[in-house]
Amino acid sequence: MEDHMQAAEGPPENISELLARLDRMSAAMPKRLRQCAEYLRANINLVAVTTVADMSSAAGVAPSAFMRFCQALGFSGYSEMQALFRSEYALSRPDYAERLSHLRARGGNGSARLLADFVEAGHKSLVSLLNMTDMEVLAQMVDRLAQARTVHLVGMRRAYAVVSYMGYMLQKMDIPCVVHSGAAGIEFTASMQPGDLVFAVTFAPFAQETRGIAEVAHRAGVPLLLLTDSADCPLGKIAEAQLITREVDVGAFRVPTASITLVTTIAIALGGARGDAG
């Protein structure tokens, strides 16, 4: 049976609008189109660099079904949808030379101006953190961490600063933890034992090293808690709970102000919980 669905009105103007449209439409989609939607959400960072043949194969559908999925969202086909992702990826993920060029163009590379801009961005990030954090999930995470024999902290690339600081705090409070760095290509997943718990931090486009360690832990029955900047993080499907932090950027440079504030909160609350239990 063919998967037919009336096309949405016009293509989404940005990825946020596309995801909002998916939220509204997914439940009513035929089975194969729903498979496409689920795969897209879990692998959103791949669209800009992956062919429709590869996307459809990974989603377990025919290329024609994935094309109908794109059309149901309002695109003429996969190429138009991919162009949207490539455009937004280029805007949000410029290389460092391009970022510095943008700052120079707006006269924003002087130290005094940069300091003011980063302070303002940090303030906005913290206000957003307070407004968007689910306090029940936060409390749940602290409770789960308090029950763990050892806390395994996983975060690569720019997330490494977040987990390494959390690890420093836990060590100071004598809470057993391991910070996985992936140094020399060694993941140290053999150190994960029953009763342990993984706390992973990953930001779009999501480090493959972090994903690999978290998935190994999940297969071994070690629970996963997640901190990310996107509700579409692929690890969200296997995490017991997740929290989202988003950093306001300055010329596409980001300071992990909200993320470090959140893990500091978790670490101190965890220290208090362990102390009470003792």
pLDDT digits (tens, 9 = 90+) for 212-260: 899 999 998 999 999 998 877 889 899 999 998 888 888 778 899 999 9
SS3 state at 247: coil
pLDDT band at 184 (very low <50, low <70, confident <90, very high): very low
Higher pLDDT, 5 or 32: 32
Check residue 117 and give its pLDDT: 83
Tell me the average pLDDT across 197-205. Answer: 92
Q: Rounded mean pLDDT of 90-115?
A: 62
- Higher per-residue pLDDT: 43 or 241: 241
Per-residue pLDDT at 78:
94
Give CA–CA dist 71/8, Å, rounded: 8
**Is the Cα dihedral 109, 111, 112, 115 positive or negative?**
positive
Pairing of strands 177-180, 241-244: unpaired
| pLDDT, tens digit (0-9, with 9 covering 90-100), for 44-101 | 767 877 889 988 988 999 999 999 999 999 999 999 999 988 776 655 555 555 555 6
pTM score of the predicted model: 0.63
Q: Which residues of the chain form beta strands (DSSP E)?
A: 151-154, 177-180, 197-202, 224-228, 241-244
